Structure 1
């Protein structure tokens, strides 16, 4: 790969700042909002009441990722990453709200892929070129009419990958091509190689734990990068794939999805892995009978707990230290796994102490108080929910 970071010029846009409609909350309070895709549009809801704030038309299957600034999400479209303004933010006057808007701002990318937010940077990956676009997260809040300045680090061979930038400027990115993916490369802030590994077949997914320990999933375990070194952690099974990491930056333990059968049909999984980034160990947890999940159904709670929205319809809380299920709360009806990964099926996102849970079968969204287990609000949606993103406001 080529470490040729070059600042780009901010792109102009003719959109205007949405008119502020509410400014009632006291200074320091935040008003979250939730965005959900459905066939034909994106709805934006108040994160407390779940009342509809906006219904924005859009064609085709789209993915949603929070931009990391508490206000915006990035919508994956054919041209790249389009900026969605959820219309909620907090300034010195308090919590402000405006009408949600799918802006004309676009981070161009050939086959837009993963979005990672870490520290003060948001990192966008283009699968069609393996180029990585980096911008300072809060810069997107500064000017509603133009994109922030970006740095682009060009990739060598296009593949479905992911990158991350650490606080000291260290750049980590996956290595692969159109046929396979093999590992990661680490560069310092000046573009010099720090470490590399080709011991991660089918590398996929990234997560950053406490003290900036970074994990990448492999089809036979995981890679952990910290303190300038890469450590390979072998799975206990010959085939033991981790492809998605669920992290808390206040915990050294990363939760990951886990698949031990390469011939398994469908997308429901019955095991979960816990990776201790300090001891460099991996523990595979067999979930109770009837508790299965997909990549959309795991999140971390406010106390670092692992939350699993399972196929039995319950929200299960797991202690990451022991792997024990400590609590279970029925939320929706039991459900079956999707035929294709893009198909609507239940999903979970967490903001603060609230878990937002989609219920495609009922066309509903539920808000759950994680501490009390109370379903604080539920609302019907204009379509079957698919992707979900939530912002703090």
Structure 2
């Protein structure tokens, strides 16, 4: 699913999937840039579910106290075992000015601080372990240091030292990264090039193989590969975007034929996938629905009714979207959001008494529509009816900043749990969606900006964020 906005929208939040790692590829060697200011060994011991810390001295594990992270990650994949845990250990990756924090969700402790200059974007790579960091020159791979390994009919779970690897998928202007159907599609806004890869193949000393497709011109776009290997792409230029194409699976030479196309989506922006693999693209006058190899326009009731940010769920046919109707506003702070049923084509507008930002939309594991409001509450809605079921007080009331890169409260949802950043207090809050209560609040060393996460689970093929 995708949460996107403005001139350089947040990259879509990929679906997380996992392919088992065999012994030969176990916990690949981690190539790190500087990890700063942490007693990594002591912290990692806390996240091993009570198990005794490893004493093998394997790189990046709790047995490497005093080791230089960059040097230790030069070891081979075969001698990197990790610290075994009783269950999968999920972790958050939270950006701040000049770097990122990797946070263990079980303890609330930072297991790594990673220095990386500039304004960085983060999204799960799609394997339940790695995160893609959009930075200068491309999509860089961050190993969050949590993974699963198959053993007969069950899995073993491990944690290790997070590391920003030297591996980077090249892109002049890295934009959206969308994982769907076990494939991740990377869109380079600077060239209009799409590169797809299989995230389960991440690891080792080199990037996994990629397949390239080039759109007709450079533009701020997006691509999604379907389960049948067909691919949806946007088309446009740096001045105007209003088109999309559905491409056939690649032939023996890698070429893709055009199966369907549409030019009926002015300002095309963002994507989301709903139950039944129905896809939508946002337009300035509604949505473009792609289902069964057919494009269908779902029009807004207003001449300008922009739905530029969407969040989908495999558990629901309904797509959650924003809704803006002031074309001339420098920054519209909307008081309405949209729910679009991809099964019926019905678009419903829901009036609200608060506003929100592009980092406010998410979905619960049961398909619940989540809206993080400027009133400081997390609002939980039934996507079928648009009725609010709960409102959780989390942060102080806030206002969306004019500069889209500036921090504001943001949400990342993972099944029955939502994580909400609190820049004003340098906290991240954990919300139990079933009880609609804040279950924990963890301090951060930096002002948080973007937030995403990985599960470390073998069966992480559900949608996240």
TM-score (norm 1): 0.93
Task: Tell me how many residue pairs correspond in the alignment.
Answer: 376
- 1:34-113 to 2 correspondence within 5 Å? 34-92=92-150, 94-113=156-175
Match of residue 434 from structure 2: 371
TM-score (norm 2): 0.78
1:24 Cα deviation after fit: 4.0
Match of residue 138 from structure 1: 200
Match of residue 361 from structure 2: 298
CA distance in structure 2 between the aligned counterparts of 1:182 and 1:189, rounded to whole angstroms: 23
**Structure ranking higher on relative contact order (CA contacts 8 Å, 6+ apart):** 2
CA distance in structure 1 between the aligned counterparts of 2:371 and 2:216, rounded to whole angstroms: 37
Match of residue 199 from structure 1: 264
1:350 Cα deviation after fit: 0.9
Paired residue for 2:179, among 103, 107, 117? 117
Q: Tell me, what secondary structure is at the counterpart of 1:138?
A: helix
CA distance in structure 1 between the aligned counterparts of 2:234 and 2:351, rounded to whole angstroms: 29
Match of residue 187 from structure 1: 247
Report if aligned partners of 1:48, 1:377 keep a CA contact under 8 Å in 2.
no
Unmatched tracts of structure 2, length 5 or more: 1-28, 33-57, 63-81, 251-255, 457-465
Match of residue 339 from structure 1: 402
Paired residue for 1:228, among 293, 305, 322? 293
In structure 2, the CA distance between the partners of 1:18 and 1:271, relative to structure 1 (3 Å rule), is: farther
Report if aligned partners of 1:158, 1:176 keep a CA contact under 8 Å in 2.
yes
1:364 Cα deviation after fit: 0.8
Match of residue 222 from structure 2: 162
CA distance in structure 2 between the aligned counterparts of 1:18 and 1:236, rounded to whole angstroms: 58
1:267 Cα deviation after fit: 5.0
1:33-55 CA-partner distances (Å, limit 9, x unpaired): 00111112100000122111000
Report if aligned partners of 2:145, 2:162 keep a CA contact under 8 Å in 1.
yes
Report if aligned partners of 2:390, 2:436 keep a CA contact under 8 Å in 1.
no
1:338-372 CA-partner distances (Å, limit 9, x unpaired): 12111100000012221010000111111111111
Q: Which has the higher strand share?
A: 1
Match of residue 23 from structure 1: 83
Match of residue 175 from structure 1: 235
CA distance in structure 1 between the aligned counterparts of 2:455 and 2:392, rounded to whole angstroms: 24
1:218 Cα deviation after fit: 0.3
